[in-house]
């Protein structure tokens, strides 16, 4: 029976699909995005249907290239190969990449300076739109969102979360094996924590963020990592960004650094104890934007610009970025707040106030310092 | 005439194997050589030992850890595989043997990454294993600890590789002439004496091959250490992935690959010696 019912349905579907295939030439807009699966989901489930509706005959195809800097690295390698091969039309139209990737790609002329050619240019104000880890990326990038690392803690165990890294160091001695983080090889929340530690303890915080790069600072960095080695004796190492949240949820640790957006998403999905809260210690933990970029020889550059215009519009930033995916907006929050209901807006700032975020939300250190710190970590802390 | 015939046969033989040889050369030997070359090529294209020095400087602990973990896992696999295979061959209860035969192969069909994922929740401090142990009154909640360190990696690797070695070993044991076993039993040997003195010596070769292949496989597993414990110390595969993914540093990654290749070569040498020893009498 079922088979007979199914057949006419299939035939109808095939017929319904036919006219489109013939009447309009399909253009495919290829969007490559680094980052976790939620980035691909965002493009495919949220942005693509809206863009396709506005632009009949256009199909958006999103591919994920993997989490962390590795994902941006893959996009870089592909564009670089097409550049070296002398290809005239590159097959990525829009890419979403990390700061380190953006710095490299701008340096190697792989990107198009498109910012002045889109109408959302003026909505973006944060300095990350011009400066990526010390590299000048002005004109080439627009932030899709900002994400922030913060301490997640279980208030049943931690009555008053440490307000600074110094307090944290004291706290772990009194509460051994209650703080967990994922080292430098298991994801960026661990890397960010290490960066925050060095910023707080090496006494060169400003220099790490603003430059100029001075290889002579290695000694100060390694000294601060020495104290981190001691700190590590009192903490638990977790398997990855998700691993920290898992252990918090199972009550195996009481505190650890996590990505704020992951934190909210997990809580919304019921994967994390709803009592767990966030706090941002002084002098701060790093956060980062993801950038929309358009490759220098993108095959569909005009469409790509329209795509970024949609993605950066206050409506999409409010509804998609903030409300559905729990990221901080990529454009100036003042344009977003008016498009959002108060509850959604407040949810994002319940534990961490906008002023704390402004004060303690820091950029990652310059690329060179970043490398010095993670390699120093391997040399001093792990060996 | 006969000489001509022989050369012609030789040539036909060569022609027949050349596509296979070509594939091996192009897709296995060439990339391997390139990896070796890149491990020693400096920024200016000259020869340098800088990458190797950095690899050894930063990752010598992980190298030793890798050796220790894989050797320990190999020993664990050997013990488990011998126990299971010998029960399948010599065990008393037919029903238990059938059940065991049916059960032990399962992990063969489960990918490493899934094994890692399963172990991650199974072995955690408040994971399933400890819940069962606490619920059963075997340990008290205070002494429960996470096994997600080197122990977790060893457990996952052994769990995954035992069926493979058991499969080979049980086959070899089944083909041991049953007269030998019966004669020993008639002369009063206990079951474990039959195993140690009669059966194991005859299947030693198969066991060795199975263990060497497992050893080399385990050296290359990335997903299990990544899922269970990517922090230091960890397996060298995690470091290789990290050099490439975080630093885009193929040179040090290649140096690490070369070092891991040397470890595998030790296994390969054992394997070849055994395989050649077996092939020569047959020829």
pLDDT tens, position by position, A343-367: 888 888 888 888 888 889 999 999 8
What is the tens place of the pLDDT at every residue in B100-118? 999 999 999 999 999 999 9
* B→A interface, C-beta within 8 Å: 57-58, 61, 120-121, 124-127, 146, 148, 226-234, 238-239, 242, 244-248
Instruction: Name every chain A residue with its beta carbon within 8 A of the beta carbon of B146.
Output: 236, 252
* Residue in A76, A239, A375 closest to B230 by CB: A239
pLDDT tens readout for residues B78-102: 999 999 999 998 887 889 999 999 9
B97 with B151, same domain?
Answer: yes
Q: Does B113 lie in the same domain as B31?
A: no
Q: d(Cα A45, Cα A41) in Å, to the nearest integer?
A: 5
Averaged pLDDT, B210-218: 94
Q: Closest-CA residue in chain A for B227?
A: A239
Q: Write down the H helix ranges in B91-177.
A: 94-104, 112-122, 128-135, 150-174
Q: How far is B239 from chain A (nearest CA, A)?
A: 8
User: What is the domain range of residue B148?
Assistant: 52-282
Q: Give residue-wise pLDDT tens across range A243-267.
A: 999 999 999 999 999 999 999 989 9
Mark whether B24 and B75 lie in a shared domain: no
Tell me whether residue B142 is in a domain: yes
Q: How far is A246 from chain B (nearest CA, A)?
A: 9
- What mean pLDDT comes out for the span A163-180? 96
Assigned domain for B44 exists: no
- If asked whether residues B5 and B136 sit together in one domain, one would say no
Residue entry with tokens 């973990």: B69
User: Between residues B73 and A10, which one has the greater pLDDT?
Assistant: B73
**pLDDT of B278 over the 80 cut:** no
CA B98/CA B96 separation, integer angstroms: 5
Q: What is the mean pLDDT of residues A205-226?
A: 91
Average pLDDT over all residues of chain B: 89
* Claim to verify: residue B17 and residue B129 sit in the same structural domain: no
Total length of chain A: 383
Distance CA A239, CA A77 (A): 28
3-state secondary structure of A30: strand
In 3D space, the residue among A175, A185, A142, A138 whose CA is nearest the CA of residue A304 turns out to be: A142
Residues B91 and B1 occupy one common structural domain: no
Q: Which band of pLDDT confidence, cut at 50, 70 and 90, is reported for residue B273?
A: confident
pLDDT of residue A23: 45
Beta strand A135-136 pairing with A131-132:
antiparallel
Taking a C-beta distance cutoff of 8 angstroms, is the pair B60, B52 a contact?
no
Place of tokens 């208030």: A155
Residue B178: the pLDDT is 87
Alpha carbon of B135: minimum distance to chain A alpha carbons (Å): 17
Question: Total domain count for chain B?
Answer: 2
Query: Residue A98, SS3?
Result: coil
**SS3 readout for B90-115:** HCCCHHHHHHHHHHHCHHHHCCHHHH
CATH of the domain at B60: 1.10.3720.10
Query: What's the pLDDT at B1?
Result: 52
- Report residue B276 as tokens: 């050649």
Give the Cα separation of B252 and B260 in Å (integer).
Answer: 12
Per-residue pLDDT at A214 exceeds 70: yes
Query: Confidence class of residue A7 from pLDDT cuts 50, 70 and 90?
Result: very low
Query: In order of start, what are the domains of chain A with their CATH numbers?
Result: 2-146+288-352 (3.40.190.10), 147-287+358-382 (3.40.190.10)
d(CA A192, CA A374): 10
**Structure-derived torsion over alpha carbons of residues A330, A351, A46, A27, reported in degrees to the nearest 10:** 20
By CA distance, what is A182's nearest residue in B? Answer: B231
Per-residue pLDDT, A24: 52
B8 and B68 in one domain? no
Q: What is the pLDDT of residue B90?
A: 84
B152, B127: one domain: yes
CA distance A380 to A51: 49
The predicted-structure confidence for B15-46, as pLDDT tens digits, reads as follows 999 999 999 999 999 999 999 999 999 888 88
The whole-angstrom distance between A75's CA and the closest CA on chain B is 12
Contact A225, A380 (CB under 8 A): yes
B130 with B80, same domain: the answer is: yes
Q: Are residues B134 and B229 in the same domain?
A: yes
Q: What is the pLDDT of residue B2?
A: 59
Q: Read off the pLDDT of residues A264-293 as tens digits, 9 standing for 90 and up.
A: 989 988 999 999 999 999 999 999 999 999
Contact list in B for residue A236 (CB cut-off 8 A) is 146
Q: Six-digit token pair at A17? A: 């699909």
What's the pLDDT tens digit per position in A50-77?
999 999 999 999 999 987 778 898 999 9
CA dist., res. A49 & res. A69, Å (int):
28
Give pTM, 2 decimals: 0.79
With respect to residue B223, please indicate whether it lies within any of the assigned structural domains. Answer: yes
Q: What's the pLDDT at A17?
A: 46
pLDDT at position A67: 79
């Amino acid at each position: 029976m079922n088979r007979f019912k199914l057949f006419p349905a299939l035939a109808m579907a095939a017929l319904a699909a036919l006219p489109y295939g013939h009447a309009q030439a399909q253009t495919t807009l290829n969007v490559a995005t680094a980052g976790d699966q939620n980035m691909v989901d965002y493009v495919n489930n949220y942005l693509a249907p809206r863009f396709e509706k506005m632009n009949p005959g256009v199909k958006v195809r999103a591919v994920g290239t993997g989490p962390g800097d590795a994902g941006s690295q893959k996009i870089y390698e592909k564009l670089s190969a097409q550049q070296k091969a002398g290809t005239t039309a590159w097959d990525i139209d829009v890419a979403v990449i990390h700061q380190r990737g953006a710095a490299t790609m701008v340096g190697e002329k792989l990107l198009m300076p498109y910012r002045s050619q889109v109408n959302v240019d003026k909505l973006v104000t944060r300095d990350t739109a011009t400066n990526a880890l010390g590299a000048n990326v002005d004109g080439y990038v627009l932030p899709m969102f900002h994400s922030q690392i913060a301490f997640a803690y279980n208030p049943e165990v931690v009555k008053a979360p440490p307000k600074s890294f110094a307090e944290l160091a004291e706290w772990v001695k009194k509460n051994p094996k209650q703080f967990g983080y994922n080292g430098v090889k298991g994801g960026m929340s661990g890397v960010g924590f290490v960066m925050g530690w060095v910023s707080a303890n090496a006494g060169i915080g400003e220099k790490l963020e603003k430059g100029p790069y001075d290889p002579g600072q290695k000694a100060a960095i390694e000294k601060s990592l020495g104290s981190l080695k001691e700190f590590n004796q009192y903490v638990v190492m977790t398997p990855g960004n998700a691993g920290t949240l898992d252990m918090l949820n199972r009550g195996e640790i009481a505190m650890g650094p996590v990505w704020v957006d992951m934190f909210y998403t997990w809580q919304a999905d019921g994967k994390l104890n709803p009592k767990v809260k966030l706090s941002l210690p002084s002098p701060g933990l790093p956060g980062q934007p993801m950038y929309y970029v358009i490759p220098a020889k993108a095959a569909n550059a005009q469409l790509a610009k329209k795509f970024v215009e949609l993605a950066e519009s206050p409506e999409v930033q409010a509804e998609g970025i903030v409300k559905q995916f729990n990221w901080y907006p990529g454009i100036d929050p003042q344009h977003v707040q008016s498009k959002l209901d108060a509850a959604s807006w407040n949810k994002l700032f319940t534990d961490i106030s906008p002023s704390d975020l402004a004060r303690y939300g820091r950029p990652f250190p310059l690329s060179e310092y970043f490398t010095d710190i993670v390699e120093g970590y391997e040399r001093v802390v792990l060996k | 005439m006969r000489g001509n015939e022989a050369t012609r046969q030789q040539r036909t033989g060569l022609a027949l194997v050349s596509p296979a040889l070509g594939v091996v050369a192009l897709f296995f030997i060439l990339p391997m050589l390139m990896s070796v070359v890149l491990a020693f090529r400096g920024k200016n294209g000259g020869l340098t030992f800088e990458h190797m020095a950095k690899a050894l400087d930063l990752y010598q602990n992980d190298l030793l850890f890798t050796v220790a973990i894989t050797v320990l896992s190999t020993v664990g696999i050997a013990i488990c595989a011998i126990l299971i295979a010998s029960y399948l061959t010599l065990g008393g209860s037919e029903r238990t043997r059938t059940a065991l035969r049916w059960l032990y192969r399962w992990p063969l069909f489960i990918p490493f990454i899934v094994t890692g994922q399963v172990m991650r929740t199974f072995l955690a401090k408040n994971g399933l294993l400890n819940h069962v142990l606490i619920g059963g009154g075997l340990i008290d909640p205070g002494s429960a600890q996470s096994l997600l360190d080197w122990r977790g990696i060893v457990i996952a690797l052994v769990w995954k590789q035992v069926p493979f070695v058991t499969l080979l070993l049980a086959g070899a044991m089944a083909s041991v002439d049953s007269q030998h076993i019966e004669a020993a039993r008639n002369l009063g040997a206990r079951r474990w004496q039959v195993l140690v003195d009669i059966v194991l010596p005859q299947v030693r070769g198969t066991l060795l091959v199975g263990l060497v292949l497992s050893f080399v496989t385990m050296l290359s597993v990335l997903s299990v250490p990544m899922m269970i414990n990517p922090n230091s110390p960890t397996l060298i595969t995690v470091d290789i992935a990290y050099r490439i993914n975080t630093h885009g540093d193929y040179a040090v990654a290649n140096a690490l690959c070369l070092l891991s290749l040397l470890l595998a070569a030790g296994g390969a040498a054992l394997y070849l010696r055994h395989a050649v020893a077996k092939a020569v009498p047959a020829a």
